[in-house]
């Protein structure tokens, strides 16, 4: 999945949309967690792909 670079900063709604505070795993539905999951799966602090490094 290619990284997408936003044209502006994320808003709280952009990052937390889908979050369900009543679900113990509700954070996994947020965009913020999806971004973290992509970052972690590509190597974390030392990303393997140039697209993730640039993003």
- What distance in Å separates the CA atoms of residue 48 and residue 36, rounded to the nearest whole number? 15
- What distance in Å separates the CA atoms of residue 2 and residue 51, rounded to the nearest whole number? 7
Q: Tokens 């993730």, residue?
A: 52
- At residue 2, does pLDDT exceed 80? no
DSSP 43: T
Q: How much is the pTM?
A: 0.63
Q: 9-13, 39-43, 50-54: which has the minimum mean pLDDT?
A: 50-54
Return the domain boundaries, the chain: 19-54
DSSP 48: S
Averaged over 7-32, what is the pLDDT?
83
């Amino acid at each position: 999945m290619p990284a997408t670079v936003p044209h502006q900063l994320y808003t709280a709604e952009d990052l937390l949309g889908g979050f369900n505070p009543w679900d113990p795993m509700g954070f996994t539905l947020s965009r913020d967690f999806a971004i973290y999951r992509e970052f972690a799966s590509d190597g974390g602090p030392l990303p393997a792909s140039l697209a993730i490094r640039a993003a």
